[in-house]
Amino acid sequence: MKPRVSVITIGVDNLEESLHFYRDGLGFPTDGIVGAEFDHGSVAFFELQPGLKLAIWNRKDIAHETKVSVSSPSPTEFTLGHNVNSKSEVDEVMDKAKRAGANITDPAHETFWGGYSGHFQDPDGHLWEVVWNPAWDFVE
């Protein structure tokens, strides 16, 4: 199988609140909530980079679609990594997340492996890592 991940969907409890956090707080581009005319269809998509979108969808609707029971979420099941080009950019993104209402769990700091990173949680507890890795170059 050739990996072709094009959408990362995260479950949320309040679609409007999460839309506000990602669109208005972090500045992620979106057309807003679509699919409201369908039962269990309300979702919002955000352009992350060419070929990759982030989707937010109500947990109860994901459960309905997948035939899996809703259970207690654990923030340590996965993290979303936001890689940037400098330490100062890590600080900028962390500050923006805090102003948007994120819970800063790990303020930006030098890492043991030579990088610089910090962690925050969105309104639903999903963990994000904002990181500068000196071995990786991201051009915008």
Q: Judge whether 71 lies within some domain.
A: no
- Is the same domain home to 27 and 56? yes
Are 53 and 11 within one domain?
Answer: yes
| Cβ contact 35:23 at 8 Å | no
Rg of the chain over all Cα atoms, to the nearest angstrom = 16
Asked whether residue 85 carries a pLDDT value surpassing 90, the answer given is yes
Question: Whole-model pTM above 0.85?
Answer: yes
Looking at the structure, tell me whether residues 90 and 116 fall in a common domain: yes
Q: Are residues 59 and 104 in the same domain?
A: no
Answer whether residue 73 is part of any domain.
no
Q: Are residues 99 and 122 in the same domain?
A: yes
Say if CB 30 and CB 48 are below 8 A apart. no
* Number of separate domains in the chain: 2
Among the residue ranges 25-29, 71-75, 124-128, 129-133, the one predicted with the least confidence is 71-75
| pLDDT confidence of residue 139 | 58
What's the mean per-residue pLDDT of the chain? 94
- 86 lies in the same domain as 118: yes
We report the CATH number of the domain holding residue 44 as: 3.10.180.10
Residue 72 forms part of a structural domain:
no
Rounded distance, CA 45 to CA 102, Å?
19
Can you give the residue range of the structural domain that contains 38?
7-66
Give a yes or no: residue 139 inside a domain. Answer: no
* 83, 48: one domain: no
Q: What is the pLDDT of residue 72?
A: 87
